[in-house]
């Protein structure tokens, strides 16, 4: 595993170029967000998406998949955002939220048959710069959900995560100590009736 030390307050463009190269080659990465550290891959690479689902024990046909976009303009290419949803998202993002939205047909075949996708635009410059430089979203899953299984892994500590994923993830961005609380999940598939599915770090009035 390659470890790149980089902080949100000091973006290293050369390191990010290495990250984007790895994603384009179908590799998996671990990176900081505004909530938990996450495992990610190029959302448009079917093989990488299947690999990350296998790593996380996720059936992509039965579990909602989430993507990180750099901004709402990029997101609009991959999810359907009506006017009401746009107002809610614009006020809340970037932030610690995952918005469940109708999926667009531009997502790759691993998403086919899925009517919805989770959208994240985190309040973390590293997490935003990756999809911006890549030119498309990254698939994202929490690095901590299945590793906190006996107290032996500190999900907020990049060194601890590096040990856990040493054989399965090619690159890790060490952005310092992470968090322990996940994003707030809001279902916006019916934007006239938004529902908080999971209360997490993000606070919102609907």
- The DSSP result for 135-200, as a single string, is TS-EEEEESSTTT-SSS---TT-HHHHHHHTTTT-SEEEE-SS--S--PEEEE-SSTTS-EEEE--
Q: Which residue has the higher pLDDT, 147 or 10?
A: 10
User: Running DSSP on this structure, what letter comes out for residue 39?
Assistant: E
| Whole-number Å distance between alpha carbons of 180 and 143 | 11
Which pLDDT band holds residue 111 (cuts at 50, 70, 90)? confident
> How many beta carbons lie within 10 A of that of residue 62, not counting itself?
7
Average pLDDT over the chain, rounded to an integer: 92
Residue 175: pLDDT above 90? Answer: yes
Residue 86: pLDDT above 80? Answer: yes
**pLDDT attached to residue 152:** 74
Residue 137: pLDDT above 80? Answer: yes
Residue 148: pLDDT above 60? Answer: no
- Euclidean distance between the first and the last CA atom of the chain, given in angstroms as a whole number: 42
**pLDDT attached to residue 151:** 57
Which pLDDT band holds residue 147 (cuts at 50, 70, 90)? very low
pTM: 0.92
Of 102-111, 112-121, 129-138, the one with minimum mean pLDDT is: 102-111
% of the chain surpassing 90 pLDDT: 82
CATH number belonging to domain 2-198: 3.90.870.10
The structure tokens listed for 64 are: 């909602």
* Mean pLDDT on 77-88: 95
**pLDDT attached to residue 198:** 96
Residue spans per domain, the chain: 2-198
């Amino acid at each position: 595993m390659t470890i790149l030390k980089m902080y949100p307050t000091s973006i290293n463009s050369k390191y990010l170029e290495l990250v984007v190269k790895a994603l384009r080659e179908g590799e998996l990465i671990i990176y900081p967000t505004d909530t938990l550290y996450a495992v990610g891959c190029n959302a448009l690479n079917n093989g990488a998406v299947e690999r990350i689902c296998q790593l996380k024990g996720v059936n992509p046909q039965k579990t909602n998949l989430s993507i990180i976009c750099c901004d709402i303009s990029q997101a609009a290419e991959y999810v359907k955002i009506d006017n009401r949803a746009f107002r809610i998202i614009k006020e809340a993002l970037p932030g610690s939220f995952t918005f469940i939205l109708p999926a667009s047909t531009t997502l790759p075949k691993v998403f086919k048959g899925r009517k919805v996708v989770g959208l994240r635009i985190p309040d973390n410059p590293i997490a935003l710069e990756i999809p911006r430089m890549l030119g498309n979203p990254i698939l994202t899953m929490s690095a901590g959900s299945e590793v906190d299984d006996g107290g032996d892994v500190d999900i907020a500590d990049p060194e601890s995560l590096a040990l856990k994923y040493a054989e399965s993830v090619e690159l890790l961005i060490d952005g310092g100590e992470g968090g322990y609380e996940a994003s707030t999940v809001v279902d916006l598939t019916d934007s006239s009736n938004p529902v908080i599915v999971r209360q997490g770090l993000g606070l919102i009035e609907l």
